[in-house]
Each structure stands twice: as structure tokens, then as C-alpha cells.
Structure 1
Amino acid sequence: MTTTLTVEGMGCEGCEDIVENALSGVDGVEEANADREEGVATVEGDADVEDLVESVEYAGYEAALAD
């Protein structure tokens, strides 16, 4: 299953790495990719959306489930 989150505040490659690492640490995540230009992160796996959002916010960014 693919989940897409909107992520605000990513300004560089380092930010993408931080978001990807935060998401990768969530149970159920098989793969995570962040794109600062699009302002999104995509996650493969069956992780809980609330856990994904919480992990990104804990890393210092604003996140929400994309429409």
C-alpha cells in the first residue's frame, strides 16, 4: 500500500534525508521517499498514518495525509 503525506518545511536534501529516516523508523514501513520540491513524502507498506505523521512532526516538519 502506498501512502502519500504532504510535508512542509523541507528546504534541502538533508531535510529529505531526515524525513525519510523518520518515516523508515515507523513499524510497517518498507520504503520511504521524500521530495522537497513537491512537498510530499511517499511510503510503501502498511504503517499507521497517524504514526507516520507523528514521526515526521517529531523530526521537525509539518505533515498531513495528502488528499
Structure 2
Amino acid sequence: MNVVINGTPHEVPQGMTVAQAVQKLTQATTGVAVAVNDEVVRRGAWETTALADSDRVEVLTAVQGG
């Protein structure tokens, strides 16, 4: 199936979860937020939220600095 992650199309396996998508993009374990189709997904739901064909996923990582 095809999903768009951070603006880039990706071919991913059927049933891929939000948690798996995050692992694909970043090694960060904190400071990460995810939205699917413009809806924020709570961290506690990442493992059980499956992506569907044509979903738009945004993975945001907090950056420190000044």
C-alpha cells in the first residue's frame, strides 16, 4: 500500500502501524509527535493504530537549540 510520510510517498506493508512508521524515520524515542490525516495520534495509540492506503503521515521531532 502507499502512504505519504512527511511529504514523500512510501510503499509500506499492509497493516503497518504508526509506531513502525516512526521507527522507519527516526531513532528518537522522545520529543516525537505524529499526525495521520491531520489528526494527532496519542503516543499510547501508536502500536495499535494501523495505517491505510493513501494515509498522510507527519512525523515531527523536537529540536533543541537557540
Tell me the TM-score normalized by structure 1: 0.33
The structure having more radius of gyration, on CA atoms, is 2
- Bigger strand fraction: 1
- Bigger helix fraction: 1
Tell me the TM-score normalized by structure 2: 0.34
